[in-house]
Structure 1
Amino acid sequence: LKLHFHFSSSVQDATTLHNTSQYPPLPDWEAPSFTRAAQFRVGATFVLFLFAACSNLALLVSVWRGQRLASHLRPLMLSLASADLMMTFVVMPLDAVWNMTVQWYGGDALCKLLCFLKLFAMHASAFILVVISLDRQHAILHPLDALSAHSRNRRMLLLAWTLSILLASPQLFIFRTIRVDSVDFTQCASHGSFSRRWQETVYNMFHFTTLYVVPLLVMSCCYSRILLHIHQQHLRDKGESPLRRSGTDIIPKARMKTLKMTVVIVLSFVVCWTPYYLLGIWYWFQPDMLRITPEYVHHALFVFGNLNTCCDPIIYGFYTPSFRADLAACCRWVRSDADTSSQYIDRMSTREGPHSREHEPQPSTNNQTAADQPMKARDFSM
């Protein structure tokens, strides 16, 4: 689904040369190159990779070790951080390396595997946001049913990860390496898996629906019901006496804070990925748009979509003081370990001193050589 637009153009042209019985040849086709716009994309992706890797790993450790987060929310945030880490360590490096090499050098098996993992990570990230939205809806609309939240969330997470695997599995059969011998060009593409172009468009639109449309509709429905419930509670409480309303809230502050955090996380997903998906729809129905829109637009929108991976830890840290406290404690722990190590080294150097080995028997040359051999062998070991 997510073949980059400039790659799709080059693959389409290259495979046209490869299969002249189905498409007319393009005599003016030239192999693509590592353009200035692609260089910008690689640099921006590398910066996002560093930030997303550090922040999501910190979020994963904080949620795993922290005790202040509700027990039924911990699996949700762990899954969200895991999905973001999959996007970070699969999608971003694959995108950067593929832009630099332009063509595919990883072989057929790696082509299938990485395309599967890429779509699997994207589905998992979207579906876990759906699970979080459903959890917030149930928590607001049925606050007395909190005891079953833990088992319910586990079942929904299992379903989300399973669906992600199933929906991404066709990538293992659709994508393959295609070689154009006349220009010595190899690419990982889905060409040849569909007998008609409309079939490929239907396949892409199906994944667009499962990746974006269905999650967006479910999340919008959940938060619309939540807002309607809050509005009805306000109207209902207006008819009550002030004495009866005193000391009570429509929604507890902690639950409202979590609700706000999840709303912002969902909004960041929508804002970051909507422009790129709209551009993708335009390409699927009008491939000539590649010649109309500047190349920088395609690269910038994909980088902007990857920015969503960096937003989740920032949003979580903003709404969760325990995350900032865990980070501070981790920094103090690392600093204390460094201080302890330096103090130990200082004590050892003071104890041994410059003349501490004056009267020690010196080992023979043969023993010294024998002792050095394992170290030298380790230097040359693989």
Structure 2
Amino acid sequence: MSGNWSVVQLLSPALPTTLTPSPLLNASGFPPLTDWEAPSFTRAAQFRVGATFVLFMFAACSNLALLASVWWGRGRRLSSHLRPLMLSLASADLIMTFVVMPLDAVWNMTVQWYGGDALCRLLCFLKLFAMHASAFVLVVVSLDRHHAILHPLDALSAHRRNRVMLVLAWSLSLLLASPQLVIFRAIRVEAVDFTQCATHGSFSRRWQETVYNMFHFTTLYVVPLLVMSCCYSRILLHIHLQHMREKAGESYLRRSGTGIIPKARLKTLKMTVVIVLSFVVCWTPYYLLGLWYWFQPAMLRLTPEYVHHGLFVFGNLNTCCDPVIYGFYTPSFRADLAACCRRTRGAPMAVHLRTSPPEPGR
């Protein structure tokens, strides 16, 4: 088992599932602890930590820049119902960046847990909360685009509706992550002088833990994916039907004369579609791997350790994609970044100009 703890600890949305087998769980089908060996900081884990550090730096800078642009910069020009969505998306990504990534990197380096029981419970709660918030905000974004395209004349109520959905998304994230505060604890194995933050002893049977993990797999991935797929499928169907009506010569209401839907709304639609696709592409391999592990734990011995570490790093790449996609579709964000770079480069020159004496004759 040496080196596999860092793999097991993040193969489920519920985070570390067990402290590996122990005599306390023999009744539930776990083998005894006699052959257990403390894990180590392997080369695959070292790769994971290095890659996570790079992603952390990029995600922190880009999402902070996105938040600043939408809050203070040119991004304030966004429509009143779209601006809270972008602020929430950036905030969810920043929680992932400043909670999930550092915790994952440090935990892989130390291998065991040194933070104590209270910090164990809190950080596991924050981690699942961040993952839920990120998924649920994307669901709200998809529902907003669905309503904007299918009901374009109902724009006046969009601001209030989005605020209600965002409050619900963040509240539901808190609620669904709250069991982490109860089931996780710092467990010490005296025989090998090893401490880990785990769910050890919280489930009397393995199937109970599998049900818990499957529930969070459903709320983190399956339900958001179904809702987002339904929203964009209906949008595509609506656009297709409008095309068919146009070809048939039917007259219908157009609000700007730019085609089936206004250019600005179409651009926002494209942006949200790409953001949702990045979520699906980045996280699907990781969740499928977790699904395999829950039903066949022996898969740890069948797949290379680099695969497990690499897929979780690939999932974290999603937090870097959102600001890049937003910047690609939003000139105001690019303009804010350019202005920031100009100020940064021009600061020394500005100081020099202020402190140099006036030229003769002027």
Q: Would you say same fold, with TM above 0.5?
A: yes
Q: Is the CA contact 1:11–1:189 (under 8 Å) kept in the aligned structure 2?
A: yes
Give CA-to-partner distance per residue, 1:318-377, whole Å, 9 cap, x none: 111111011112222334444333444556xxxxxxxxxxxxxxxxxxxxxxxxxxxxxx
Which amino acid in the other structure matches residue 139 of structure 1?
Answer: A
CA drift at 1:7: 3.8
Task: State the match for 1:375 in structure 2.
Answer: none
Structure 1 stretches of 4+ moved >6 Å = 8-11
The 1:130/1:25 distance shift into structure 2, 3 A limit, reads same
Task: State the match for 2:152 in structure 1.
Answer: 143
| Match for residue 115 of structure 2 among 97, 106, 125 | 106
Task: State the match for 1:16 in structure 2.
Answer: 22
Task: State the match for 2:349 in structure 1.
Answer: 339
Q: Which moved more, 1:25-34 or 1:314-323?
A: 25-34
Establish whether residue 257 from structure 1 lines up as the match of residue 267 from structure 2: yes
**Secondary structure in 1 matching 2:196:** strand
The 1:103/1:248 distance shift into structure 2, 3 A limit, reads closer
Which amino acid in the other structure matches residue 181 of structure 2?
Answer: L
Separation of aligned partners in 2, 1:8 and 1:273: 13
Separation of aligned partners in 2, 1:125 and 1:281: 20
Which amino acid in the other structure matches residue 33 of structure 1?
Answer: S
Which amino acid in the other structure matches residue 208 of structure 1?
Answer: F
Q: How does 1:79-98 map to 2 (within 5 A)?
A: 79-98=88-107
Give CA-to-partner distance per residue, 1:226-255, whole Å, 9 cap, x none: 00100111111112279x999451101110
Could you state the TM-score of these two structures normalised by the residue count of structure 1? 0.85
Give CA-to-partner distance per residue, 1:62-97, whole Å, 9 cap, x none: 111223322211100000000000000000000000
**Secondary structure in 1 matching 2:37:** coil
In angstroms, what is the RMSD of aligned CA positions?
2.3
Task: State the match for 2:35 in structure 1.
Answer: 28
Give CA-to-partner distance per residue, 1:15-43, whole Å, 9 cap, x none: 51566676442433211000000000000
Q: Is the CA contact 1:178–1:186 (under 8 Å) kept in the aligned structure 2?
A: yes
Separation of aligned partners in 2, 1:196 and 1:317: 48
Establish whether residue 168 from structure 1 lines up as the match of residue 170 from structure 2: no
Could you state the TM-score of these two structures normalised by the residue count of structure 2? 0.90
Q: Is the CA contact 1:15–1:178 (under 8 Å) kept in the aligned structure 2?
A: no
The 1:176/1:345 distance shift into structure 2, 3 A limit, reads farther
Establish whether residue 40 from structure 1 lines up as the match of residue 47 from structure 2: yes
Q: Is the CA contact 1:14–1:180 (under 8 Å) kept in the aligned structure 2?
A: no
**Secondary structure in 2 matching 1:186:** strand
Q: Is the CA contact 2:21–2:33 (under 8 Å) kept in the aligned structure 1?
A: no
Larger radius of gyration: 1
- Indicate the structure whose relative CO is greater, using CA pairs within 8 Å and at least 6 residues apart: 2
**Secondary structure in 2 matching 1:182:** helix
Establish whether residue 190 from structure 1 lines up as the match of residue 196 from structure 2: no
| Match for residue 140 of structure 2 among 117, 131, 140 | 131
Task: State the match for 1:319 in structure 2.
Answer: 329
Separation of aligned partners in 2, 1:142 and 1:132: 15
Give CA-to-partner distance per residue, 1:89-143, whole Å, 9 cap, x none: 0000000000000000000000000000000000000000000000000000011
**Secondary structure in 2 matching 1:177:** strand
**Secondary structure in 1 matching 2:112:** coil
Q: Percent of counterpart pairs with the same letter?
A: 79
Q: Is the CA contact 1:7–1:102 (under 8 Å) kept in the aligned structure 2?
A: no
Task: State the match for 2:62 in structure 1.
Answer: 55
Task: State the match for 1:5 in structure 2.
Answer: 7
Q: How does 1:260-271 map to 2 (within 5 A)?
A: 260-271=270-281
Separation of aligned partners in 2, 1:272 and 1:11: 22
Q: Is the CA contact 2:133–2:170 (under 8 Å) kept in the aligned structure 1?
A: yes
Separation of aligned partners in 1, 2:161 and 2:18: 46
The 1:346/1:19 distance shift into structure 2, 3 A limit, reads farther
Q: Which moved more, 1:161-170 or 1:320-329?
A: 320-329
The 1:239/1:98 distance shift into structure 2, 3 A limit, reads same
Give CA-to-partner distance per residue, 1:248-299, whole Å, 9 cap, x none: 5110111001000000000000000000000001111111111111101000
**Secondary structure in 2 matching 1:187:** strand
Which amino acid in the other structure matches residue 44 of structure 1?
Answer: A
Separation of aligned partners in 2, 1:247 and 1:35: 61
Q: Which moved more, 1:62-71 or 1:158-167?
A: 62-71
Separation of aligned partners in 1, 2:197 and 2:356: 56
Task: State the match for 2:303 in structure 1.
Answer: 293
Unaligned runs of 5+ in 1: 348-382
Establish whether residue 282 from structure 1 lines up as the match of residue 289 from structure 2: no
Unaligned runs of 5+ in 2: 358-362
Q: Is the CA contact 2:19–2:200 (under 8 Å) kept in the aligned structure 1?
A: no
